[in-house]
């Protein structure tokens, strides 16, 4: 929560810092550009060596000289029109009485001069008139204290400025005149005051020069630093946009929900307004007005920029940039119009579009010549390729759906169709299929769960039945050891005995049947020898068969056949079948046990003749609690065949019962496990 | 006179067991929950066997067996309506020597009680005697003396036919190893098996009926369905 607040404050601070660094950046770039490109600044160690300075200085000399003239009345040298004006306004002091030196009251210049007319014995200077400047020599002395000078004395030039020496000087008309005048006894002394104390053009140019030089020096550091800072500020701003204290989500106000196109129009209009406001007074040449209007214009532009940036970044952050456009709304309307149509309508629309585009392209191939024709041909090819790609993708999607359906059909309801990857009609189809698969899977799980619960319930109930049953069986047993009062009592007791024994068997079988049918059994699959187990089981039942006079005809293959099963449960299956035979087979009949070996499977067959009439179907016989005869006097729970069938299927085998008149046949099929 | 403690929360079951075991000449002590049982075990030094129900109020049978086993070697037979394999395994792992499921056959109960009492009281000496002699074979409490052709199960002599005796001797000699019907035939008859059919299986069943208390759940002669038969390799306790 705290962080959000900080992000917002940081963003606002960044907004103030951005213009500062932009200015620094622009100044650095412009400064170094000037220093690099302006010839007047080049190849100089300081301002006084630049061409800029020497030109300015020489122009000043020329100007001072070329406008020289005499006021005959006062015998005064009038240096230039400015001087004359000052003279008229009584700004020129004279010291004629002493040394014929005229002082021009123009102290605001760093350029000081002394012009001497030796013939007329007058001199003129713009040095300040002080006690020290009462004689020509003294003025010269004062001027000599300055390091930048240019003197013309008796036809010779003496200067500290390299480019203004007699050899290097630019040959102009004025300079020729000066050279000619030298015969007329004119001497010129000019200096630029050390440290340029007055705020004149020289001082200003020097300041600019120094600044530019300074900027050029630090620009290699300043530009990257300010760029990095700007990038950081931009990140801070973009991160901070839309954050509000105590709110996790990006905050959107009404403006952010306006259509993007309208917002962009407003932005452009504001920008135009800013430019207009900035340039409106440019023609007036009134500095204050221009600066004010430029500032206002810039601020408008900057605020407009912030406004646009904020709303666009917020829209991007909330993924609504595209959704808030008018174009999107139009697309949506078109989509809706198409979506609610029948698939055939869609097909007709798509096919119509394809045909008309193709038709026009084909026509243009015929009608056009040269490049246009090639272009149209290329477009037609592109159309064909795109249509193929589209159809190919659709077929792919269709195949995915087909595979999913196939896997559901095969019983695997755990499918992943990724309906988001599909489009259009097939997407809807995929969603339906996923729903159906989910429903199926739930139903299967539910039924498994309910089977498991049923098994648990049966187990618990049978446990609760067993405890009282223990007492019943025990006390019946104890009673049997007592003397009964009469035969009837003895008969009743025998019934109680047999029924309690049946109840015991029933509870045991019930648990087993429910476990077997719900698959709630842990199997230990091993390699089982079919011959061996059949010999073992028939050995177990030999005595019981003999008791009922049953003759076993065994027909086993000579080679050993191996299958994969759990020996204990396979024995339970066979035991149930055998005990079924001992209970229900006709006395003194034959029982056939055959093992039929096929290429991949082995079938164990057990055939016998039923004692009672079998007025029931094979399917019914396998259901729980159903026995071959209607009366339920014989022992057994009626669960035996049901348990045998469930256990066989659990081990991957196939269990069948065939009834043909009194012939009762059971087959158990297993896949043969090949020796490795 | 041997003392047997019967513990079950169902009084009628306790009474029925008392009737059966009293007839066999045992002295019966009764408890109806785990705590009572523990008190009686503490008070009576001269106990020879405990019949213990599992599901009881206050303290269940598994815990009782665990507590008794901490300092006593009295045989414990669990008596429970829980008949799942893992129930039996839990009982036997927690100190029980035998496990009988309810509803039980009274004769089986008596046989198992007699067996445990015999083992606990007098068997040790017979075992020592027989074990060291030549031509004797054993597994747990099953002893075969080939000199006298005698078979003893838990100290009781068992009468076998010569074929049954030979099969049992061969399997006990090679206890722990599983033999198929064919192998047993070849080794006992010492001739090629010729469609032995189920003769061996019938004999094995007869032997089981003679030496096992419950032939359906054999202790010594195990049937490995679809593979063969073996005598379990039981260590002398």
The pLDDT assigned to A633 comes to: 46
Question: How far from the centroid of its chain's Cα atoms is residue A463's Cα?
Answer: 60
For residue A472, the chain B residues in CB contact (below 8 A) are 103
User: By three-state DSSP, how is residue A152 classified?
Assistant: strand
Q: Are strands A101-104 and A122-125 parallel, antiparallel or unpaired?
A: parallel
The arithmetic mean of pLDDT across residues A547-552, rounded, is 91
B7 close to B97: Cβ distance less than 8 angstroms: no
**Which of B226, B228, B230 is the best mutation test for A, with the most CBs of A within 10 A?**
B226
CA distance B122 to B2: 12
The arithmetic mean of pLDDT across residues A534-548, rounded, is 90
For residue B227, the chain A residues in CB contact (below 8 A) are 526, 528-529, 532, 567
Written as one string, the DSSP assignment of A213-260 is: HHHHHHHHHHHHHHHHHHHHHHHHHHHHTT-BTTB-SPP--HHHHS-H
Among A94-98, A371-375, A383-387, A552-556, whose mean pLDDT is lowest?
A: A94-98
CA distance A107 to A93: 13
What pLDDT digit, counting tens, does each position of B49-58 carry? Answer: 999 999 888 8
Q: Are strands B221-224 and B156-157 parallel, antiparallel or unpaired?
A: unpaired
The arithmetic mean of pLDDT across residues A219-237, rounded, is 89
Task: Record the tokens describing residue B94, joined without a space.
Answer: 């927690």
Scanning B165-224 for CB atoms below 8 A from A yields 180-181, 196-205, 223-224
pLDDT at A178 over 80: no
What pLDDT digit, counting tens, does each position of A502-534 carry? Answer: 888 888 888 888 888 777 788 889 999 998 899
Report the chain A residue with the minimal C-alpha distance to residue B215: A540
What pLDDT digit, counting tens, does each position of A334-372 carry? Answer: 888 877 777 888 888 888 988 898 888 888 777 777 777
The pLDDT assigned to A370 comes to: 73
Find the angle CA(A323)-CA(A328)-CA(A331) to the nearest 5 degrees. Answer: 145
| Contact flag A539-B84 (C-beta cutoff 8 Å) | no
pLDDT at A489 over 80: yes
B50 close to B68: Cβ distance less than 8 angstroms: yes
Among A311-320, A409-418, A622-631, B192-201, whose mean pLDDT is lowest?
A: A622-631
Mean pLDDT over each residue of chain A, to the nearest integer: 82
The pLDDT assigned to A1 comes to: 46
The band of A630, judged by pLDDT with boundaries at 50, 70 and 90, is very low
Report the chain A residue with the minimal C-alpha distance to residue B83: A463
- Kindly state the percentage of chain A with pLDDT values over 90: 15
pLDDT at A579 over 70: yes
Please give the model's pTM, rounded to 2 decimal places: 0.53
Q: What is the DSSP letter of B236?
A: P
The pLDDT assigned to A322 comes to: 86
pLDDT at A30 over 90: no
pLDDT at A275 over 60: yes
The arithmetic mean of pLDDT across residues A299-308, rounded, is 90
pLDDT at A408 over 80: yes
Name the residue facing A467 among B102, B181, B200 (closest C-beta). B102
- Kindly state the percentage of chain A with pLDDT values over 70: 88
Q: What is the DSSP letter of B141?
A: T
Compute the half-sphere exposure of residue A134: CA atoms within 13 Å on the CB side of its CA. Answer: 4
Strand partners, A151: A158, A189
Question: Tens place of pLDDT for every residue, chain B, 237 residues?
Answer: 889 999 998 899 999 999 999 999 999 999 998 899 999 998 888 899 999 999 888 888 999 999 998 888 899 999 998 888 888 898 899 889 999 998 888 889 999 999 888 888 875 545 455 555 678 888 888 888 888 888 988 778 889 999 899 999 999 989 889 998 888 888 888 777 665 567 888 899 999 999 988 888 888 999 999 889 999 887 654
| Contact flag B226-A478 (C-beta cutoff 8 Å) | no
**Which of A481, A539, A602, A647 is the best mutation test for B, with the most CBs of B within 10 A?**
A539
Position of tokens 């010839």?
A39
CA distance A286 to A283: 8
Q: With an 8 Å Cβ cutoff, is B226 touching chain A? A: yes
The pLDDT assigned to A83 comes to: 60
pLDDT at A594 over 90: yes
**Buried b vs exposed e over A282-307: b needs ≥16 C-beta within 10 Å?**
eeeeeeeebeebbeebeebbeebbee
The arithmetic mean of pLDDT across residues A404-431, rounded, is 79
A523 close to B174: Cβ distance less than 8 angstroms: no
Report CA torsion sign: B3, B8, B9, B10. negative
The pLDDT assigned to B237 comes to: 46
Position of tokens 């009834």?
A659
The pLDDT assigned to B78 comes to: 93
CA distance A513 to A619: 16
pLDDT at A100 over 80: no
Name the residue facing A471 among B12, B83, B204 (closest C-beta). B12
What's the start-to-end Cα distance of chain B, in Å? 24
| Contact flag A543-B82 (C-beta cutoff 8 Å) | no
What pLDDT digit, counting tens, does each position of A67-86 carry? Answer: 666 665 566 666 555 666 66
Among A99-113, A317-331, A447-461, whose mean pLDDT is lowest?
A: A99-113
Compute the half-sphere exposure of residue A628: CA atoms within 13 Å on the CB side of its CA. Answer: 25
Report the chain B residue with the minimal C-alpha distance to residue A536: B201
The pLDDT assigned to A147 comes to: 85
Other Cβ atoms less than 10 A from the Cβ of B58: the count is 14
The arithmetic mean of pLDDT across residues A560-579, rounded, is 92
> What are A's interface residues with B at a Cβ cutoff of 8 A?
459, 463-464, 466-475, 477-478, 504, 508, 511, 526, 528-530, 532-533, 535-540, 542-543, 554, 565, 567-568, 570-571
């Amino acid at each position: 929560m705290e962080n959000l607040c900080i992000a917002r404050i940081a963003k606002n601070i960044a907004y103030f810092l951005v213009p500062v660094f932009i200015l620094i950046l622009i100044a650095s770039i412009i400064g170094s550009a000037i220093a690099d490109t302006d010839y007047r600044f080049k190849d100089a160690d300081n301002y006084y060596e630049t061409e800029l300075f020497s030109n300015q200085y020489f122009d000043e000399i020329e100007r001072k000289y070329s406008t020289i003239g005499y006021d005959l009345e006062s015998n005064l040298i009038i240096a230039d029109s400015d001087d004359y004006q000052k003279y008229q306004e009584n700004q020129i002091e004279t010291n004629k009485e002493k040394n014929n030196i005229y002082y021009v009251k123009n102290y605001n210049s760093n350029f000081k001069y002394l012009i001497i007319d030796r013939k007329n014995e007058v001199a003129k200077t713009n040095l300040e008139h002080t006690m020290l400047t009462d004689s020509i020599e003294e003025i010269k002395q004062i001027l000599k204290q300055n390091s930048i000078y240019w003197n013309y004395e008796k036809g010779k030039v003496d200067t500290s400025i390299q480019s203004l020496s007699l050899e290097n000087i630019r040959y102009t008309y004025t300079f020729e005149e000066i050279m000619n005048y030298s015969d007329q006894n004119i001497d010129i002394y000019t200096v630029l005051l050390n440290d340029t104390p007055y705020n004149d053009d020289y001082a200003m140019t020097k300041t600019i020069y120094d600044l530019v030089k300074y900027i050029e020096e630090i620009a290699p550091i300043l530009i990257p630093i300010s760029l990095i800072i700007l990038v950081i500020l931009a990140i801070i701003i973009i991160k901070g946009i839309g954050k509000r204290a105590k709110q996790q989500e990006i905050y959107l106000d009404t403006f952010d929900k306006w259509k993007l196109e309208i917002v962009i129009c407003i932005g452009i209009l504001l920008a135009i307004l800013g430019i207009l406001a900035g340039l409106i007074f440019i023609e007036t040449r009134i500095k204050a007005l221009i600066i004010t209007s430029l500032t206002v214009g810039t601020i408008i532009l900057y605020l407009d920029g912030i406004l646009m940036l904020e709303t666009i970044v917020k829209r991007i952050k909330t993924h609504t940039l595209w959704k808030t456009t008018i174009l999107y709304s139009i697309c949506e309307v078109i989509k809706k119009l198409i979506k609610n149509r029948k698939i055939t309508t869609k097909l007709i629309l798509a096919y119509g579009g394809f045909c008309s585009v193709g038709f026009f392209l084909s026509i243009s191939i015929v009608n056009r010549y040269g490049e246009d024709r090639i272009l149209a041909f290329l477009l037609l090819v592109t159309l064909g390729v795109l249509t193929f790609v589209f159809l190919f993708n659709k077929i792919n999607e269709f195949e995915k759906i087909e595979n999913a359906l196939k896997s559901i059909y095969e019983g695997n309801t755990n499918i992943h169709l990724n309906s988001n990857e599909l489009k259009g009609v097939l997407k809807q189809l995929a969603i339906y299929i996923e729903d159906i698969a989910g429903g199926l899977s739930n139903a299967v799980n539910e039924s498994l769960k309910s089977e498991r619960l049923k098994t648990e319930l049966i187990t618990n109930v049978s446990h609760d039945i067993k405890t009282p049953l223990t007492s019943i069986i025990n006390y019946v047993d104890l009673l049997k050891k007592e003397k009964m009062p009469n035969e009837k009592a003895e008969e009743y007791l025998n019934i109680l005995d047999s029924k309690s024994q049946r109840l015991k068997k029933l509870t045991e079988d019930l648990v087993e049947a429910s476990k077997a049918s719900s698959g709630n059994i842990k199997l230990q699959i091993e390699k089982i020898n079919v011959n061996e187990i059949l010999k073992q089981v028939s050995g177990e039942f030999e005595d019981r068969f003999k008791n009922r006079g049953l003759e076993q005809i065994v027909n086993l293959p000579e080679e050993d056949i191996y299958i994969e099963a759990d020996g204990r449960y396979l024995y339970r299956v066979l035991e149930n079948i055998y005990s079924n035979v001992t209970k229900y087979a006709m006395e003194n009949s034959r029982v056939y046990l055959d093992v039929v070996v096929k290429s991949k499977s082995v079938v164990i067959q057990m055939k016998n003749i039923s004692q009672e009439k079998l007025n029931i179907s094979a399917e019914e016989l396998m259901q729980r609690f159903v026995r071959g005869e209607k009366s339920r006097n014989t022992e057994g729970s009626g669960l035996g065949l049901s348990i045998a069938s469930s256990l066989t299927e659990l081990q991957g085998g196939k269990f069948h019962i065939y009834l043909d008149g009194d012939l009762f046949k059971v087959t158990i099929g297993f896949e043969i496990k090949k020796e490795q | 006179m041997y003392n047997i403690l019967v513990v079950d929360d169902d009084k009628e079951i306790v009474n029925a067991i008392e009737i059966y075991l009293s007839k066999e000449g045992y002295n019966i002590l009764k408890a109806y929950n785990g705590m009572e049982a523990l008190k009686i075990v503490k008070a009576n030094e001269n106990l020879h066997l405990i019949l213990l129900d599992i599901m009881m109020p206050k303290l269940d049978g598994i815990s009782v067996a665990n507590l008794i086993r901490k300092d006593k070697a009295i045989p414990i037979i669990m008596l429970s309506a829980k008949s799942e394999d893992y129930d039996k395994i839990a009982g036997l792992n927690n100190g029980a020597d035998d496990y009988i499921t309810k509803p039980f056959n009274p004769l089986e109960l008596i046989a198992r009680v007699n067996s445990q009492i015999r083992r606990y009281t007098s068997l040790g000496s017979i075992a020592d005697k027989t074990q060291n002699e030549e031509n004797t074979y054993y597994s747990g409490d099953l002893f075969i003396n080939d000199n006298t052709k005698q078979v003893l199960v838990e100290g009781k002599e068992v009468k076998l036919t010569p074929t049954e005796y030979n099969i049992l001797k061969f399997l006990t000699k090679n206890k722990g190893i599983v033999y198929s019907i064919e192998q047993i035939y070849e080794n006992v008859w010492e001739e090629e098996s010729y469609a032995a059919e189920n003769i061996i299986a019938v004999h094995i069943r007869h032997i089981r009926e003679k030496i096992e208390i419950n032939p359906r759940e054999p202790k010594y002669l195990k049937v490995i369905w679809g593979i063969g038969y073996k005598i379990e390799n039981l260590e002398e306790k």
